[in-house]
Every structure is written in structure tokens, then in C-alpha cells.
Chain A
Amino acid sequence: MAFAVLEPTTLTDALGLLAQEGDAGAALAGGTDLLLRIRRGIRKYRSVINIKFVPGLTGLTWDEQRGLTMGALTTFRTIEKDAHVRRHYQSLVEAARVVAGVQLRNLATVGGNIGNASPSADSVPPLVVLGAAIEIGSASGTRAVPVEACITGPGRTVLTPGEIFTTIRIPAPTPRSGNAFSRFSPRAAMDIGIASVAAAVTLDASGRCTDCRIALGAVAPVPLRATAAEDALRGERITAELADSSGELAAAAAQPISDIRGTAAYRRAIVRALTARVVQQAAARAAMAGA
């Protein structure tokens, strides 16, 4: 399990090394998934390319018009403590706070969470409903991909050899909008979600839902939008009954597997309950946000 550690100090060098090492190399961010894969013998690498010395890949900036810009190496602990994130993107804070424990959140990065592409990645449903996009850098330039389209299967992303995630951008919230996330796991800390749901809701001045996004985690190989559940809410006042029927539609849209953490039927039941809950919570936050 020995490997070389390459420590590029510019993005150009990092991308060059990634292209050069190809399948024999891996980009190292927080290391909380990668080092485990190596130690367990799941993957062998000749080298890991530690990208933490590359400038510009960390840090959060907030702008009223442009929203939130954060480096791919921003840690979950930084996210959960940031005042702007706490104010505008509560769903992302709610997800960050259930990732492992404080020590691990000081290491684990949001870009790594997306890149690891676990169906249960906690940050992904919130980023999907918030309309986040991720910028991908390579020797030939940059491209931006919505987080929703970024994960192509368990452990697989749109990244090609020689590319890394550099920046995540979340649009500024629209007036009268709110968002929420909830995850179910037997233990509150140090556990993996059996299912999770994020919702973002926008209301008009009369309190009707004008826009809505619902994303499901851990119930499909890729992050899943519950579009039928979203359609049921648009144009309507979000009552408890309507939220519950959107939960039924979300449960029907889920494509869960049965595994050691729960059966498919159990996961659907959780999706139904969590969807009803986060939709109402997002709507309540939207009402509070005002114009």
C-alpha cells in the first residue's frame, strides 16, 4: 500500500501530473475516502497527487447577485460555520452537520464528496436543489457541469483523466425562497444515510408555490430529482396534505436497493416521510424569507 505523494503547487502542474499518471494516480483532497480505499486494498495507486497545496481551491465568497462561490477543497466544517451559508443555504448546513464527526469534517471536502460519487453523499441532494454547478479544470481549459449531471453512477463522475473539480457555484437565492434537508440514519453521527431528501421552494406574494425542486439521496445509483412530486406542488399552496402527497410521489420515483442498511420498501417509506417534512420546512422558510 506504499505510494508516492506528489505535491504540485500550481493548478497547471497538478493537471499535468494527473494527466501523466492517468489511472495509476489519484487526486488527494481530504483523503477521508481515498486513503481508506487504498488501505483496504480496494484500489492501488502508484502515486497520489495531493492538490491541497494548489492555490485557489479553498475559500468561500458570497455575493448578493452571484451567490456563493466555493473552492472544491472547502471542508464541511467551514461550510457549516459560514454565516452566509447558514443564512441562505440551510439545506447545505443541515447536510454538512450530519457528515461523520467534527474531526472528519475538518478534513473532508465538498469536492471530494461529489467526486467520490457515493449514492449516499450527503452534500449532493442540497447542491442539486440549490442549482449548484461545478467547474472542472483541465489542461485544455475549464467547463461547468450542474452537480445534478455530474454523478453518472456509484463511484463514477463526468471527470475524465487529467481533470479536477475546482470551484462550486450556487446561485443567490431568489426572493421568498427556502430550502431544507433531512437524512435518516440509525445513529445521528458517524453513520451513512439510509435515505435523504432535500427540497427548495419558491413562493409568490400570495403564498403559492411558483418553483420547487426535490432531490433524493441514497435511493438510486445517481442523485434523483423527484419531478412528479415537484409538479404536484407548483402553483399550489403547500399544505400538510399536499406535502404528504408529494411524499408519495417522491417515494414512487425512488429506485432504492435492498442492502444491509435497509430494504427497498423501507427506503421508500423513509423517502415519503422525509419529503413531506422537508417540503413543509422549505416552504415555511420561504414564507419567513419574505421578498
Chain B
Amino acid sequence: MTQQYLLSVNGKTASVTTAPHRSLLDTLREDLGLTGSKKGCDEGECASCTVLLDGVPVNSCLVLVGDAVGKTIVTIEGIADAGGPGPHPLQRAFVNLGGVQCGYCTPGMIVSACALLTEQPDPTEDEIKFYLAGNICRCTGYNKITAAVRSAAETMRAADVPAPTRRTA
């Protein structure tokens, strides 16, 4: 029992034929080869699978593939490609400031931080903590993650980097 779905992923239209009970996360990773979004818990507890759905961060493990049809999907790969050549300022800040340890939570952290900086380009430390509270880092490197987001926010405001949250096909 499969069905064809047309998904708008990172500005391109992708056609996927799959079973309707599958999650957006599994579809992205296994059918489209976009393995940047991580499968940590598959229960909505860790947010390492965060993607932007119409600009809004969601746990893609809890979204059925059919619920993503007609919406724009941006994954970590889309953010990586958005700032021109080289890594996105958020990625660079995570690397430069040691916001990455094992790296498993990092894509979800960066996708979520990207949504935060779209809503609030100059967030306070408390606003960052509140927004990223659902993103679990088991290496517990939270201080450096917060510092990386603050640093990236500064870079992005100065350079006027567009947040790639609403790119369409």
C-alpha cells in the first residue's frame, strides 16, 4: 500500500512513493538520502530530527509524510546551502565556538536556531534557552551552543544574511 507524494524540500520538488504511515523523517533520510536530520528517539523527545515546515520548526519524526505535502520543507542541508558558498554562519559559529561535541544533536540545534533568529534576530540568552529547550544535547554542551547562537545572530545581523526558512520551489 504505497502512494505518491510530491514534497517541496529545500527549494526543489521531490517525488516519493511510500506508505502513508511513514514519518517525514524516515522519508527524508531513507527515500531522499537527506541524512542530516537525525533520528535520536523517534518519539518527539530529543528534536534532533527538527526541520522547518512552512518556516516553523517541528519534530519530523512525528509528522506523517502526507502532512508535509503542500508545505515548504527546509532541512539542515537546505540551511547549509543557503548562505552561498561555504557553511552557513550558524554552522560556522557552532564549529568555531565548540558548539559541536558528538554532533548528533547539532543539525536539530541549527535548524531550530535558524527559526529562532527569523522570529527574533537579536535574542537574549534566556530567549535562546527557552527556544532550544526541546533540543536535547546528551554531551551537555549547552553553554557553547548558546554562545554559538548568539555569535551567529550577531554575524547574521551585520551581514544581513537571509534566514532560509521560507524558500519555495
Contacts and interface: CB of A to CB of B under 8 A. Distances in A.
A149 interface: no
Contact of A190 (B19, B64, B112, B134): B134
A101 B48 CA distance: 12
A2 B21 CA distance: 6
Interface string A173-199: 000000000000000111000000000
A18 B108 CA distance: 36
A106 interface: yes
Given A102-B112, A190-B136, A36 B44 contact: yes
B21 A101 contact: no
Contacts of B135: 101, 103
Contact of A103 (B1, B19, B43, B59): B59
Interface stretch (A3-11, A19-27, A265-273): A3-11
A157 interface: no
A5 B58 CA distance: 20
Interface string B32-56: 0000000000111101001001001
A189 B128 CA distance: 13
Contacts of A189: 133-134
Interface string A70-112: 0000000100000000000000000000001111101100000
B66 interface: yes
Contact of B64 (A2, A31, A102): A31
Interface in B104-143: 112, 115, 130-136
Given A1-B21, A3-B21, A107-B62, A101 B67 contact: no
Contacts of A116: none
Given A31-B64, A36-B43, A50-B64, A104 B134 contact: yes
19 contacts: A1-B21, A2-B1, A2-B21, A4-B21, A28-B64, A31-B62, A39-B43, A50-B66, A77-B56, A101-B47, A101-B132, A103-B47, A103-B58, A103-B134, A104-B59, A106-B56, A106-B58, A107-B62, A190-B133
